[in-house]
Structure 1
Amino acid sequence: MSRPSADIEDVQREARRRLKSLKIEEWRVREFVTGTPVPDNIRHLAMQIEYAAQAIGRLSPIPADYADDVYWPRIW
C-alpha cells in the first residue's frame, strides 16, 4: 500500500521546521536590533531552503517522502 502524496502545506511546514533549526528568526531579529547582518552562510542556506520548498511544492504529485534530506540543502 503506497502512502498518499503530500500537499503544499506539508512542504511549507517542513521548510519552517528547517528554518527554525537554523534559528533564522533569531538571526533576523539580531540584524534588526543591532544592525549586524545575518552571516552570509546562514542567509544563503535560508534562501536555499525557501527555494527548495517552492520547487518541491510545484511537483505533481508532491512526493510522500518530501521531508527526506535528499530534497533539501544540507545544513553544514
Structure 2
Amino acid sequence: MQGGMRMFKVIEGGRGQAVQMDDWSEEGHGPSKEDVRREAARRISESGYHLSRIREFATGVPMLASLKYLSLQIDFAAETLSRLDPIPEDFRSDGYWPAG
C-alpha cells in the first residue's frame, strides 16, 4: 500500500455489547426501563443469587438471608430508578445500587 494509507479491521469483542447497550445515548434518548431491568438482572446474577437458589432447591439447604435481602434491594432500586423521568444516564453507577 503506497501513499501511507492503512487498512484497519474493527474487531468486535466485549465492546459489541457495550455499544449496543448504550445506543440510546447517540440517539438523544435517555435510558429505558428495560435498560434498568437488564442492569438489575446483571447485578443479581453477579451476586451469586441464582446459583444459591438452585443449590437451595437441590439440597434443601436455605440460601443466605443476606442474598435474599440483596435481591430485594436490587429489585427495589430498579423499580425506583425506572420510575424517574428522565432516568439518569449514569444509572449503572454503583451509587444507585445496594452494595453486595
TM-score (norm 2): 0.69
Q: How does 1:1-76 map to 2 (within 5 A)?
A: 3=25, 4-75=29-100
Measure, in 2, the Cα distance between the counterparts of 1:41 and 1:29: 16
Distance 1:55 1:64 in 2: 14
Deviation (angstroms), 1:60:
0.7
Q: Deviations over 1:4-63 (max 9, x none)?
A: 421011001100110111011111111111111110111111110111011101111111
Structure with more relative contact order (C-alpha pairs < 8 Å, separation 6 or more): 1
Q: Which runs of 5+ in 1 are unaligned?
A: none
Segments of 5+ residues of structure 2 without an aligned counterpart are 1-24
Identical positions, percent:
41
Give, in whole Å, the separation in 2 of the partners of 1:19 and 1:43.
Answer: 10
Taking the aligned partners of 1:21 and 1:33, their CA distance within structure 2 comes to 20
TM-score normalised over the length of structure 1: 0.89
- For the aligned residue pairs, the C-alpha RMSD in angstroms reads 1.0
Q: Which has the larger radius of gyration?
A: 2
